[in-house]
Amino acid sequence: MSPEGFAALPSSYGSKETMGRLAAAVAKHGMAVLARIDHASALRTISRASGPNSGQTLVQKETMTMDTKAVKSRQSASLGTPNDAGSDATKDIAAALNLLLADIFALYLKTKNFHWHMSGSHFRDYHLLLDEQADQIFGITDPIAERVRKLGGKTLHSIGNIKRLQRILDNDADYVTPGDMLAELRDDNRQLAKAMRETHGVCDNHGDVATTSLLEVWIDEAEKRTWFLFEAGRDG
């Protein structure tokens, strides 16, 4: 912009003397001098002097550029949480816990599925039993995911993520007898307890006493669910 362009600005943008000094500084040192004053104000000043409709466009472009840089910066920033576990421990424990978490979500939904579709002469007892067990299973999910994040790892993001990792099988049958429901959930809880013990070993190898202590409680709960399902499904 020429000195005349700055001088022609309305007084609301600053006095003619001020705008003249700004124009002279730009003419002598180039546009880089504007970095010494408020950046957004400088953009608006130059844009308004250039034309009535260009100010908004330039400010929008500059804002978009800064927002894009901020987003890219956040995307590249590490989600790692400060801890003394070490990168190998974080990688191994996070992987084991995410597998376990996928299994727990799968077992939770199957337990609710059988709870919803229970039938027969023991409907009330079995219906309530599975509801209690589903609540207990779901209660494990958040602590597991948060342990992964506390260690600096990433946890599950979606249903698709669960589907790719789960080892406990779904049951999409239209009808399952009450006895088969109890037997299947019994075996699934035994499988889950076994997976928890394996995860406990991974955590113990890395000295993660916090996760191992949680797993010990959850193993006991899985074994109790197995016991109740076994007894509820016995004949006689």
Give the N- to C-terminal CA distance of the chain in Å, as an integer.
Answer: 96
84 DSSP 8-state letter: S
The pLDDT score that the predictor gives to residue 50 is 52
Question: Can you tell me which residue has the tokens 């299973």?
Answer: 137
The pLDDT score that the predictor gives to residue 111 is 98
3-state secondary structure of 123: helix
The pLDDT score that the predictor gives to residue 74 is 63
- How far CA 112 is from CA of 120, 128, 132, 163, 197, in Å, comes to 17, 11, 10, 17, 24
Question: Can you tell me which residue has the tokens 């597991």?
Answer: 144
8 Å CB contact between 230 and 186: yes
Taking Cα atoms as reference points, which of 14, 46, 47, 16 lies closest to residue 33? 46
pLDDT average per 10 residues of sequence, the chain (236 residues) = 52 58 65 52 52 54 64 61 80 97 98 97 97 98 97 95 97 97 98 98 96 98 98 82
Question: Can you tell me which residue has the tokens 């709870």?
Answer: 115
The pLDDT score that the predictor gives to residue 98 is 98
Question: Can you tell me which residue has the tokens 């901020």?
Answer: 70
* DSSP states along 156-181: --SHHHHHHH--SPP---S---HHHH
Alpha helices in the chain (DSSP H): 3-7, 16-29, 39-50, 54-76, 87-116, 123-150, 159-165, 178-205, 209-232
8 Å CB contact between 202 and 92: yes
- Domains of the chain listed by start with CATH number: 3-76 (no CATH), 87-232 (1.20.1260.10)
The pLDDT score that the predictor gives to residue 82 is 72
The pLDDT score that the predictor gives to residue 2 is 53
The pLDDT score that the predictor gives to residue 85 is 72
Q: pTM here?
A: 0.68
The pLDDT score that the predictor gives to residue 32 is 56
Query: Which amino acid would we find at residue 214?
Result: L
The pLDDT score that the predictor gives to residue 186 is 98
Rounded Cα gap, residues 162 and 174, in angstroms: 23
